[in-house]
Structure 1
Amino acid sequence: MILYIIPVLLAVFIVVYFRLYLFACPHNRLVILMYHQVEKESHEDLTVSVKNLEQQFSYLNRKKYIPHFFSELTISSKKNIIITFDDGYKNNLEYLPSLLEKYDLKATIFIPTGFIEKGYNNYSMMTFDEIRSLDKKYFEIALHSHAHENLKNISIDCIEKDLKKNMEILDAHNIKYSKVLAYPYGKYPQKKEDKLTFFSILKKIGIEFAVRIGNKVNYYPTQRPYELCRIDIKGKDSIIKFKLKLIFGRLKLF
């Protein structure tokens, strides 16, 4: 009997705690969600099923989360959200436009131009023409480097050249983009001096924000525009786990 009581008590505690937390939390919360691929069914962490994604989008709409692009970021509520997708997979084009329109949401897609030019493993990627044709009411394009290398492992000079190439290729294809960078693999220089130099390069080339993973809720305005955290939404996350992540980021007990 006690085995049944404990989960029920835990569920009640979580619900009550959620409501108290949301009531007390600051109005300047900014949740940034991270996705990659969308398929009819999910078989891996980086792919979310259409069914799960629609359930998540429906929840955001019902609970009146306010969707933002990085390019028009103004905070006026407790329920601010930026939805992001990495890499420019063709399945994003197949499934996202109708879902975003249906639930009145927006998405930022971070583009590594090398993946679009040369492909990535055996995945189908969008073309530059397809990226350019995305409805700007629902989509914002942003930067994900050119070569998609771990920025923690390459020199500052190489990073600068790579990021400039990322922007130059998008410019050459007449693709409008926001100067927001998603770090490949969520990595960037961590040693104090290297980080300061790296951030100075980002500022020099006009990068306004950069996102890592972190799995934490942000507060905006921020003093750390190059270390905004995203919350990793995995393929097999249940709707309960999704709701938990919206509040807390990642919970260790899950």
Structure 2
Amino acid sequence: MILYLIPVVLAVFIVLYFRLYLFAFPHNRLVILMYHQIEKESHEDLTVSLKNLEQQFSYLSRKKYTSQFFSELTASTKKNIIITFDDGYRNNLEYLPSLLEKYNLKATIFIPTEFIEKGYNNYSMMTFDEIRNLDKKYFEIALHSHSHENLRTSSINFIEKDLKKNMEILDAQNIRYSRVLAYPYGKYPQKKDDKLIFFSILKKIGIDFAVRIGNKVNYYPTRHPYELCRIDIKGKDSIIKFKLKLIFGRLKLF
């Protein structure tokens, strides 16, 4: 039984060692946080409460994290952090501007253009006018595909057309955006040959970075610009759990 546990213990040690190394040598670490909705009270994982979000932003500010846009990434990433929100919910517009200004932070919002055109379930979404008029000092717009389909199960032909449509609509709406893609549902092709073809399409259409979930702190600069990890901040994460995620990402231990 003990022999069976050795590989598990060793694997946990390696993971912890690597993540602590990145914490100890912050020039090589890049933390990317992932959020979705904001409400006064949170009742689900994809919605963070206003109280929790302000507590988290306050902590980042006190600890002198420097939030960046993807367009500002450099090789030196000491205490740099990228804050991201997916989908373009209107509650982002209601709550984020004042919080970002108060704590001198920035946020990247990934826009799936079909959600803005047609809506998404019964959620209230931002309009193209509202997205266009976001303060560029605090907001960066980026790509989240057009139709928000699972790219892992989509054809290469569909993926290329869908991503181009995402960009074409933003261009037509005169919305400035960074060529950074957040994979819908965090999914993208995993088989080696499929992945190589997929990444070649991203390069062909001019994508600079792409983010999955992964729940890890990134080593940066990276040799894998299309596989950057984001740390999923859940609606009811305590401030202690948030602090641990900044160091380790998400570990099943927590």
Q: TM-score, normalised by structure 1?
A: 0.91
Q: For residues 21 and 222 of structure 1, what CA distance do their matches in structure 2 show?
A: 16
Q: For residues 212 and 69 of structure 2, what CA distance do their matches in structure 1 show?
A: 17
Structure 1: segments with no counterpart, 5+ residues: 1-16
Q: For residues 123 and 55 of structure 2, what CA distance do their matches in structure 1 show?
A: 25
Match of 2:252 in 1: 252
Q: For residues 224 and 75 of structure 2, what CA distance do their matches in structure 1 show?
A: 16
Match of 1:43 in 2: 43
Deviations 1:49-108 (A, max 9, x none): 110000000000000001110011124353110000000000000000000000000000
C-alpha spacing 1:21/1:239, structure 2 compared with 1 (3 Å): farther
Match of 1:220 in 2: 220
Counterpart secondary structure, 2:152: helix
- Alignment check: 8 A CA contact 2:106 2:139 kept: yes
Match of 2:188 in 1: 188
Q: For residues 170 and 63 of structure 1, what CA distance do their matches in structure 2 show?
A: 35
- Alignment check: 8 A CA contact 2:32 2:229 kept: yes
**Aligned-residue offset at 1:25:** 2.9
Q: For residues 95 and 73 of structure 1, what CA distance do their matches in structure 2 show?
A: 26
**Aligned-residue offset at 1:251:** 1.7
Counterpart secondary structure, 2:213: strand
Identity %: 89
Match of 2:165 in 1: 165
Q: For residues 147 and 76 of structure 2, what CA distance do their matches in structure 1 show?
A: 37
C-alpha spacing 1:150/1:28, structure 2 compared with 1 (3 Å): same
Q: For residues 153 and 201 of structure 1, what CA distance do their matches in structure 2 show?
A: 16
Counterpart secondary structure, 1:234: coil
Q: For residues 83 and 251 of structure 1, what CA distance do their matches in structure 2 show?
A: 20
Match of 1:93 in 2: 93
**Aligned-residue offset at 1:220:** 1.3
Deviations 1:120-142 (A, max 9, x none): 00000000000000000000000
Q: TM-score, normalised by structure 2?
A: 0.91
Structure 2: segments with no counterpart, 5+ residues: 1-16
**Aligned-residue offset at 1:252:** 0.7
Counterpart secondary structure, 1:98: helix
Q: For residues 118 and 22 of structure 1, what CA distance do their matches in structure 2 show?
A: 42
The runs of at least 4 consecutive aligned structure 1 residues that moved more than 2 Å come to 20-26, 75-78
Deviations 1:186-239 (A, max 9, x none): 000000000000000000000000000000000111000000000000000000
Match of 1:14 in 2: none
**For this pair of structures, how many residues does the alignment match?**
236
* Structure 1 segment 55-74 matched on structure 2, within 5 A: 55-74=55-74
Q: For residues 30 and 147 of structure 1, what CA distance do their matches in structure 2 show?
A: 29
C-alpha spacing 1:22/1:208, structure 2 compared with 1 (3 Å): closer
* Structure 1 segment 92-171 matched on structure 2, within 5 A: 92-171=92-171
**Aligned-residue offset at 1:181:** 0.1
| AA aligned opposite 2:43 | H
Deviations 1:167-189 (A, max 9, x none): 00000000000000000000000
Q: For residues 185 and 171 of structure 1, what CA distance do their matches in structure 2 show?
A: 24
**Aligned-residue offset at 1:21:** 5.7
| AA aligned opposite 1:101 | E
Q: For residues 170 and 23 of structure 1, what CA distance do their matches in structure 2 show?
A: 37
